[in-house]
């Protein structure tokens, strides 16, 4: 469990520093880490190159907000039907892809096609999603706090704590998952799918599981992202969103629990630390990505051999 | 109605050849270097902006601008191969990520140089031809003819020359090709550069018809990859046909169904093809 506990000291940050920029970067880092952690499960552990997590991320934001505003329920209650929807959608898309034995590049392209179709629906369903203008999210999640009753998550410090706690929960779940027999079956599928099948592993079922879990994480991240940034737009479902998460995982280190977090921190933080215009910032992002892929093929976490586990 | 449909089909064919030339680059690069270069759309953009700059700013004649623009795209391709892609041979995921990094860099560069304002080139060839009730802009016909020539030339070269045979041999069995004296490193560089040059040709001709935006590359690489898969990756003649089918599907789809979903028809078609003919329309079944 060691790796996950390395996140605990981060709880101290908002009480030491009141730098809004730093805290905001960290909040975005934690939320995007959840998305990246999901991708890490399906790709880093089970070896399936999905492009669907961006769509799940976007739907997470849209569905949660739409359910919340339509039925007047709380953020957490609204997330339940959203998770059910994502579950069904993942099962459907995953069933189609895996039943037809799509692999590697082809799996990537078909999941990408499904994600694009969903983005086009969101973009053009003006009555519900407000089209390309997006939706303004004015509600906030609430939590019960001992002694203070139900409080709204508002302001940077509250969001910091919520985002970090969510990330901690997600990394714990993913750690438990990949350390269990399920994780070993994922690894078997990644390393040699035919062999895994001859050993009696129902590869179809485990690939579907990895795909679904990754999308559920992505949707959770999307809901947090939409409510934190107060804004949901179709771009959150875009290919770029999927690619960013992939970049984070590869940058941080694939197949390690903390890799996605490190990657998310670098890709979210570095372009802000280096002060450039918007155009140069995109170029910096590209340059960082290329440099890490070519110079550190096992990611940043790969530089610390003791912290990397390949199950 | 018939003439509208025919007009849309013609439009689809012309846009489809543009998809086809990118698809050809995708297929060639994938067959020889084992990666999908998603930055090919950006090389197309380089070709397009170079043509625009040379024609409208430097006032060179259009054909010379096109030739120079293709050279510039090829040179950029050579540099990107030496600096980046030579390290990602046969590594699909790393190739994907490096090309995404490259996309950000090239797009930022173009934004800095030319801003986000769309650029419209002055008419190179105005007017149109009318056959019966159908009117087609002359420039579109010329574009179509040039692209078709380039694709046919590529196809003939691959079928008949020693280098072409070497390329096909390498795509089939790299080790055997190496043993037969194919210089694999040179071949990989050559194909990588040639694919970028093809994209540059597409861009240079695109500049003569449509307006240019820094974001144009993203759309075309997606269509190119779709077309390549539609035909079956590795199928050269199929890349063109795949592009044209995609172009026609979109134009006809947009005619009868909501235009907002124009990009969706190709995707639905693609998913259906992949599910029922996993090796593409023209690929051999395993």
pLDDT tens per residue, range B44-68: 999 999 999 999 888 889 899 999 9
User: Of the candidates A104, A246, A282, which has its C-beta nearest B107's C-beta?
Assistant: A282
Residue B16 host element (H or E):
helix B2-33
A253's tokens: 């280190």
DSSP code, position A307: G
Over residues B8-30, mean pLDDT = 89
**B141: domain range?**
2-276
- Specify if B281 maps to a domain: no
Instruction: Check: CB of residue B248 under 8 Å from CB of residue B16.
Output: yes
Q: How confident is the model at residue A256 (pLDDT cuts 50, 70, 90)?
A: confident
Over residues B83-111, mean pLDDT = 88
Interface of B with A in 6-35 (CB under 8 A): none
Over residues A243-259, mean pLDDT = 86
C-alpha to C-alpha distance for B34 and B88, rounded to whole angstroms: 9
Structural domains in chain A plus CATH codes: 2-307 (1.10.3470)
Judged against a pLDDT cut of 80, whether residue A302 lies above it is answered with: no
Q: How confident is the model at residue B253 (pLDDT cuts 50, 70, 90)?
A: confident
Least confident of A181-190, A236-245, A276-285: A276-285
C-alpha to C-alpha distance for A270 and B28, rounded to whole angstroms: 36
| Distance between A170 CA and the closest CA of chain B, angstroms | 25
For B158-168, what is each residue's pLDDT tens digit? 888 888 888 88
C-alpha to C-alpha distance for B148 and A119, rounded to whole angstroms: 33
Predicted local distance difference test score (pLDDT) of residue A305: 64
Judged against a pLDDT cut of 70, whether residue A308 lies above it is answered with: no
Instruction: Check: CB of residue A245 under 8 Å from CB of residue A17.
Output: no
Closest to A59 in 3D by CA, of A35, A30, A77, A28: A35
> Which runs of consecutive H residues, i.e. helices, occur in B136-281?
138-160, 162-172, 174-179, 184-209, 216-231, 236-256, 262-276
Judged against a pLDDT cut of 50, whether residue B286 lies above it is answered with: no
Least confident of A145-154, B176-185, B187-196: A145-154
Instruction: Check: CB of residue B227 under 8 Å from CB of residue B246.
Output: yes
Mutation target among B80, B100, B264 for the A interface, most CBs of A within 10 A: B100
Percentage of the residues of chain A whose pLDDT score is greater than 90: 36
Closest to B69 in 3D by CA, of B81, B86, B57: B57
A130's tokens: 């407000």
| Distance between A304 CA and the closest CA of chain B, angstroms | 21
Whole-number average pLDDT of chain B = 86
A285's tokens: 């992002």
Choice between B141 and A150, residue whose per-residue pLDDT is larger: B141
**Considering only CB atoms, which residues of chain A are within 8 Å of chain B?**
49, 96, 100-102, 104-106, 109-110, 113-114, 116-117, 120, 123-124, 243, 246-247, 250, 279-280, 282-283, 285-290, 293-294, 297
Closest residue in A to B268 (Cα) is A113
Q: How confident is the model at residue A270 (pLDDT cuts 50, 70, 90)?
A: confident
Predicted local distance difference test score (pLDDT) of residue A222: 94
Write phi, then psi, for A232 (nearest 5 degrees).
-125, 130
User: Of the candidates B84, B87, B264, which has its C-beta nearest A120's C-beta?
Assistant: B264
Percentage of the residues of chain B whose pLDDT score is greater than 70: 98
C-alpha to C-alpha distance for B272 and A102, rounded to whole angstroms: 12
Rounded to a whole number of angstroms, the distance between the first and last alpha carbons of chain A is 14
Predicted local distance difference test score (pLDDT) of residue A296: 81
C-alpha to C-alpha distance for A186 and A182, rounded to whole angstroms: 6
Interface of B with A in 240-279 (CB under 8 A): 258, 260-261, 263-264, 267-268, 270-271, 274-275, 278
| Distance between A22 CA and the closest CA of chain B, angstroms | 25
Given an 8 Å threshold on Cβ–Cβ distance, is A109 in contact with B225?
yes
What's the predicted TM-score (pTM) here? Answer: 0.84
User: Of the candidates B94, B98, B274, which has its C-beta nearest A102's C-beta?
Assistant: B274
Rounded to a whole number of angstroms, the distance between the first and last alpha carbons of chain B is 43
Residue B130 three-state SS: strand
Given an 8 Å threshold on Cβ–Cβ distance, is B36 in contact with A101?
no
C-alpha to C-alpha distance for A29 and A21, rounded to whole angstroms: 12
Judged against a pLDDT cut of 80, whether residue A281 lies above it is answered with: no
Predicted local distance difference test score (pLDDT) of residue A307: 47
C-alpha to C-alpha distance for B62 and B56, rounded to whole angstroms: 9
C-alpha to C-alpha distance for B3 and B9, rounded to whole angstroms: 10
| Distance between B107 CA and the closest CA of chain A, angstroms | 8
Whole-number average pLDDT of chain A = 86
The dihedral over CA atoms of A91, A54, A239, A269, expressed in degrees to the nearest 10, equals -160
Show residues of chain B in contact with A285, CB under 8 Å: 101, 104
User: Has the ipTM of the complex gone over 0.90?
Assistant: no
- Specify if B282 maps to a domain: no
Over residues B210-236, mean pLDDT = 83
Instruction: Check: CB of residue B223 under 8 Å from CB of residue B243.
Output: yes
Q: B63: which residues sit within 8 A by CB, 6+ positions away? A: none
C-alpha to C-alpha distance for A170 and A41, rounded to whole angstroms: 11
The CATH number that applies at residue B196 is 1.10.3470
Over residues A215-239, mean pLDDT = 91
How far, in Å, are A107, B78, B194, B199, B235 from residue B31 at the CA level? Answer: 18, 18, 13, 17, 9
Closest residue in B to A245 (Cα) is B97
**Helix B40-52 vs helix B62-83: crossing angle, to nearest 10:** 150
C-alpha to C-alpha distance for A27 and A159, rounded to whole angstroms: 7
| Number of other CB atoms surrounding residue A95 within 10 Å | 13
Over residues A227-233, mean pLDDT = 91
Instruction: Check: CB of residue A24 under 8 Å from CB of residue A156.
Output: yes
Over residues A139-159, mean pLDDT = 81
Show residues of chain B in contact with A120, CB under 8 Å: 260-261, 263-264
Show residues of chain B in contact with A102, CB under 8 Å: 274-275, 278
| Number of other CB atoms surrounding residue A206 within 10 Å | 20
Closest residue in B to A49 (Cα) is B93
- A to B CB pairs, distance under 8 Å: 103
Query: Which range has the top average pLDDT, A100-114, A210-224, B220-234?
Result: A210-224
Q: How confident is the model at residue A227 (pLDDT cuts 50, 70, 90)?
A: very high
| Number of other CB atoms surrounding residue A151 within 10 Å | 12
Closest to A52 in 3D by CA, of A110, A100, A120, A91: A110
Domain count of the fold of chain B:
1
Task: Say how far residue A84 (Cα) sits from the centre of its chain.
Answer: 17
C-alpha to C-alpha distance for A193 and A94, rounded to whole angstroms: 16
Predicted local distance difference test score (pLDDT) of residue B283: 63
Predicted local distance difference test score (pLDDT) of residue A224: 94
Percentage of the residues of chain B whose pLDDT score is greater than 90: 26
| Number of other CB atoms surrounding residue A71 within 10 Å | 10
A173's tokens: 């779940």
Judged against a pLDDT cut of 80, whether residue A271 lies above it is answered with: no
Is B228 an interface residue toward A (CB < 8 Å)?
no
Residue A106 three-state SS: helix
| Distance between B268 CA and the closest CA of chain A, angstroms | 8
Judged against a pLDDT cut of 80, whether residue A65 lies above it is answered with: yes
Is B97 an interface residue toward A (CB < 8 Å)?
yes
- Specify if B283 maps to a domain: no
Predicted local distance difference test score (pLDDT) of residue B126: 74
C-alpha to C-alpha distance for B11 and B251, rounded to whole angstroms: 7
Predicted local distance difference test score (pLDDT) of residue A41: 93
- Specify if B70 maps to a domain: yes
Closest to B227 in 3D by CA, of B118, B147, B109, B133: B147
Over residues B82-103, mean pLDDT = 87
Residue B137 three-state SS: strand
Predicted local distance difference test score (pLDDT) of residue B257: 77
- Specify if B285 maps to a domain: no
C-alpha to C-alpha distance for B47 and B54, rounded to whole angstroms: 11
How far, in Å, are A11, A31, A247, B57, B195 from residue A26 at the CA level? Answer: 11, 9, 18, 46, 41
Q: How confident is the model at residue A60 (pLDDT cuts 50, 70, 90)?
A: very high
Least confident of A5-19, A25-39, A216-230, B71-85: A5-19
Closest to B134 in 3D by CA, of B6, B12, B16: B6
Instruction: Check: CB of residue A47 under 8 Å from CB of residue A53.
Output: no
């Amino acid at each position: 469990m060691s790796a996950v506990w390395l996140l605990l000291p981060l709880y101290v940050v908002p009480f030491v520093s009141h730098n809004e920029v730093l805290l905001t970067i960290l909040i975005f880092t934690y939320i995007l880490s959840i998305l990246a952690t999901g991708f890490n499960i399906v790709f880093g552990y089970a070896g399936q190159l999905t492009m669907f997590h961006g769509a799940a991320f976007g739907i997470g934001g849209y569905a949660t907000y739409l359910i919340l505003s339509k039925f007047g329920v709380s953020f957490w209650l609204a997330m339940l039907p959203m998770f059910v929807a994502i579950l069904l959608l993942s099962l459907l898309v995953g069933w189609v892809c895996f039943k037809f034995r799509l692999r590697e590049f082809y799996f990537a392209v078909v999941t990408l096609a499904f994600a694009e179709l969903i983005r086009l629906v969101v973009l053009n369903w003006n009555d519900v999603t407000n089209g390309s203008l997006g939706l303004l999210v004015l509600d906030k999640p609430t939590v019960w706090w001992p002694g203070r009753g139900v409080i709204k998550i508002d302001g940077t410090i509250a969001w910091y704590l919520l985002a970090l706690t969510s990330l901690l929960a997600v990394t714990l779940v993913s750690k438990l998952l990949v350390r269990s027999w399920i994780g070993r079956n994922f690894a078997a599928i990644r390393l040699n799918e035919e062999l895994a099948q001859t050993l009696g592993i129902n590869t179809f079922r485990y690939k579907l599981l990895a795909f679904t879990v990754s999308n559920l994480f992505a949707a959770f991240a999307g809901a947090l992202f939409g409510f934190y940034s107060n804004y949901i737009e179709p771009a959150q479902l875009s290919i770029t969103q999927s690619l960013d998460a992939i970049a984070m995982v590869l940058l941080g280190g694939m197949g390690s629990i903390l890799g996605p977090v490190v990657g998310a921190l670098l890709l979210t933080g570095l372009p802000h630390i280096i002060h450039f215009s918007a155009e140069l910032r995109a170029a910096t992002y590209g340059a960082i990505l290329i440099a890490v892929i070519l110079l550190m093929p096992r990611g940043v976490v790969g530089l610390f051999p003791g912290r990397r586990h390949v199950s | 109605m018939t003439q509208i449909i025919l007009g849309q089909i013609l439009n689809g064919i012309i846009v489809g050849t543009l998809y086809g030339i990118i698809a050809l680059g995708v297929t060639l690069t994938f067959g020889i270097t084992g990666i999908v270069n998603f930055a090919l759309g950006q090389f197309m953009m380089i070709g397009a902006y170079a043509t625009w700059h040379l024609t409208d700013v430097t006032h060179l004649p259009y054909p010379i601008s096109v030739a120079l623009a293709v050279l510039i795209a090829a040179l950029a391709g050579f540099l990107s191969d030496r600096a980046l892609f030579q390290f990602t041979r046969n590594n699909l995921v790393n190739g994907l990520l490096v090309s995404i990094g490259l996309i950000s860099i090239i797009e930022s560069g173009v934004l800095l140089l030319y801003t986000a304002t769309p650029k419209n080139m002055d008419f190179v060839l105005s007017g149109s031809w009318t056959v019966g009730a159908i009117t087609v802009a002359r420039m579109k016909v010329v574009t179509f003819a040039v692209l078709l020539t380039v694709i046919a030339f590529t196809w003939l070269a691959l079928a008949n020359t020693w280098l072409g045979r070497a390329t096909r041999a390498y795509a089939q069995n790299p080790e055997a090709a190496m043993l037969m004296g194919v210089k694999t490193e040179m071949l990989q560089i050559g194909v990588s550069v040639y694919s970028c040059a093809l994209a540059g040709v597409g861009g240079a001709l695109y500049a003569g018809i449509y307006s240019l935006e820094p974001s144009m590359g993203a759309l075309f690489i997606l269509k190119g990859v779709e077309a390549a898969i539609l035909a079956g990756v590795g199928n050269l003649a199929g890349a063109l046909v795949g592009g044209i089918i995609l172009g026609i599907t979109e134009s006809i789809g947009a005619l009868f169904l909501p235009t907002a979903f124009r990009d969706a028809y190709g995707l639905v078609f693609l998913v259906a093809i992949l599910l029922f003919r996993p090796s593409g329309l023209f690929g051999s079944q395993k």
